[in-house]
Structure 1
């Protein structure tokens, strides 16, 4: 009975396509921005990459239609041995459901948040929090992806030698231990003026916490302008400004303290409609002026960006992705019996990536807005990776010597 001695290396080539897809997307965005200019790109040019993707969608559908069943599964179909009720068998029997849950919390949750944090959240953090201009951010991320992507194949190959479990769990553990210092170092390297201003001229928000909502907005429709507290925190969080919360008694209109300046926030109870919108805009201008006066830069100075250091940090972050994502396909395939393999592995993979990973930016923003710490959102992936490392260490079996014929 043949063992899956090269499954890790073979499937790791497939895993590279996720990061290569992001790399290709960044190249297209960089090219469009260069061709049409930043002003036109912001106005209408951003639609061009989406239009181009229609052609890629057609190609992907064609590729999918050419795929055939694996020889093992095809043999089971020919012999009539496939499951008649795969959903019931996969999730209705504790012996299988237990493996599904172990796969979810002992492998895929950590893999999902590392994938999103190290690539997408790092891009968001550079551009929105650290105010590095879009083209530079795209180029830095693209360079890091180009350098680190071959490691998918290396860790896939290595998982055939020493096992999948330990590589994935090591990647999760390293991410949990180093995300916080790495993002601090990224801030210092990408925008040293902002890093210094936050240390030397801290910002405080004085507000009644009962008037502050949790700014969790998965669909991006909420403006968070129903209370003075929400207006203050939403503005600062979107601007990437760290702040300290100071509790005020009920009925107090929120205010922001920046250096020696105190700026009252718009009170939605006394203004509404266009008048409120105009007042919020004026408030934003006042905050921006006060921040500039104490040294907060409007955007990162390209001459001050330590690009080699930024790239080195981004490469390390992507290497974590290659550790957890390179061997994951082989691990999931080997965890489940052939008759219910596709059904069983789909649930942990899509929940781990789509829910735990996909909600990371939104959840992280809500955490930042609530606490005022631009790094606080990192606790989401840190805790998720820690849970995966512990659950995987205790419950996740090693699979690299298992047969695919089961």
Structure 2
């Protein structure tokens, strides 16, 4: 079929809003639903752990290991540039995995994305540095980082759909909260392991081999993730699409042709979440240690504290979006971020740990309020036959604009105009997201098809 019956009846091209239609309601047992929630949470936690391990290493040691001939600033920029490569790869991953997710199913694609992401991460831990392999070392680092991005590009959409398309009507936001908590837990675990290694190893040992340990742990985590994900079933929503033989032949092309508005505005809505996260974590970790002179362990510990605020904001907003609406909470989070961008660096520049914790925690709480409802909001913008491709691409396109360039732009702005300019940059990203979400409709009453 060329036409999507789930999208042809509304002006926005998304699922119809008949609240009495129970076609997407789940008839599964509570035990089965719990298993789905756990699988979506564990999978995203592992994959985001893999992604953030690289970001933390880029802020702390990769410039020395792979770019030793550059100045400290240029070495940091080079490390952040390899970090940004994954964001460019993520939309590619969303298109590749989204195609098969909309063609053959959510479950099998999630297994493949987990394998690609986990093995790419583990191999970074085995990669010799510049002193051993010369120019091949940074080149292979870029390749592995690219593969990381491809894997993560397929992860989020599938995990969100796994939760949302299994969820009963009226509880999608709560179920989507589980995969949305993955980044909080993944970042906390990645930062915690670096903090532990930095505490027990001297600086020479940490820089020579200690930083590799978090990467190598990915071998174990992938095995755990596969065990959990192989035990879940396909989503009932996609099973009905397959039974009716309504799977799209070219879901990405269909999204670009029929849903450009939802795609671009949804991506714009994600910009502030990415911008806040990667400014408050990756960039601020480098800024605090290299520019302000805050001890590395102190900054890692403060980042872990801030991550608790991210989890709280995510859970609070995601669970309340079932009653209050996704759009309203995303707008509230974006509005708070406009203000917080202006106080983030004045608090950071005090160099006082308590105020730095407030600065980072407030930024990540704002991010969580935006990010939490997006687990249900983006999937609800698209019909069932193209939902994986549409939601994934919007999510990851927002990452290119908000996450890939944030540490790079922030480093340049701070060097040229001071830290205050970085705060204005964060606020500007929040305004962009605010305007984009204002142009989108509310979706919580929509049928998933």
Change (3 A) 1:187 1:318: same
Q: Determine if the alignment matches structure 1 residue 97 to structure 2 residue 260.
A: yes
Q: Determine if the alignment matches structure 1 residue 31 to structure 2 residue 193.
A: no
SS in 2 for 1:327: helix
The Cα offsets for residues 309-351 of structure 1, whole Å up to 9 and x where unpaired, read as: 3323322122112101111110011111111111111111111
C-alpha distance in 2 between matches for 1:390 and 1:148: 23
The Cα offsets for residues 71-92 of structure 1, whole Å up to 9 and x where unpaired, read as: 0111110121221221221112
Q: Determine if the alignment matches structure 1 residue 149 to structure 2 residue 314.
A: no
What residue number does 1:383 align with?
428
SS in 1 for 2:209: helix
Q: Determine if the alignment matches structure 1 residue 76 to structure 2 residue 241.
A: yes
C-alpha distance in 2 between matches for 1:47 and 1:116: 22
The Cα offsets for residues 115-158 of structure 1, whole Å up to 9 and x where unpaired, read as: 32233333333223322111111111112223552332221111
What residue number does 1:359 align with?
405
Q: Determine if the alignment matches structure 1 residue 44 to structure 2 residue 209.
A: yes
Q: Determine if the alignment matches structure 1 residue 322 to structure 2 residue 368.
A: yes
Which among 157, 181, 202 is matched to residue 16 of structure 1?
Answer: 181
Change (3 A) 1:367 1:147: closer
Change (3 A) 1:352 1:147: closer
C-alpha distance in 2 between matches for 1:48 and 1:187: 32
Deviation at 1:62, TM superposition (A): 4.4
Deviation at 1:356, TM superposition (A): 2.6
Tell me if structure 2 keeps the 8 A contact 1:119–1:317.
Answer: no
The Cα offsets for residues 268-322 of structure 1, whole Å up to 9 and x where unpaired, read as: xxxxxxxxxxxxxxxxxxxxxxxxxxxxxxxxxxxxx3x3333233221221121
C-alpha distance in 1 between matches for 2:271 and 2:306: 24
C-alpha distance in 2 between matches for 1:130 and 1:321: 24
What residue number does 1:140 align with?
302
* Correspondences of 1:334-373 after superposition (within 5 Å): 334-369=380-415, 371-373=416-418
Tell me if structure 2 keeps the 8 A contact 1:15–1:326.
Answer: yes
Q: Determine if the alignment matches structure 1 residue 173 to structure 2 residue 335.
A: yes
Tell me if structure 2 keeps the 8 A contact 1:147–1:315.
Answer: yes
SS in 2 for 1:149: helix
Tell me if structure 1 keeps the 8 A contact 2:271–2:403.
Answer: yes
What residue number does 1:86 align with?
251
What residue number does 2:320 align with?
158
Q: Which has the higher strand share?
A: 1
Tell me if structure 2 keeps the 8 A contact 1:12–1:153.
Answer: yes
* Correspondences of 1:195-344 after superposition (within 5 Å): 305=352, 307-344=353-390
Deviation at 1:184, TM superposition (A): 0.7
The Cα offsets for residues 246-283 of structure 1, whole Å up to 9 and x where unpaired, read as: xxxxxxxxxxxxxxxxxxxxxxxxxxxxxxxxxxxxxx
Deviation at 1:397, TM superposition (A): 0.6
C-alpha distance in 1 between matches for 2:262 and 2:215: 38
Greater shift, 314-323 or 115-124, is seen at: 115-124
C-alpha distance in 1 between matches for 2:283 and 2:370: 17
Tell me if structure 1 keeps the 8 A contact 2:345–2:420.
Answer: yes
User: Which protein is bigger by CA-based radius of gyration?
Assistant: 1
SS in 2 for 1:326: helix
Q: Which runs of 5+ in 1 are unaligned?
A: 191-304
Q: Determine if the alignment matches structure 1 residue 183 to structure 2 residue 227.
A: no
Q: Which has the higher helix share?
A: 2
Q: How many residues align?
A: 284
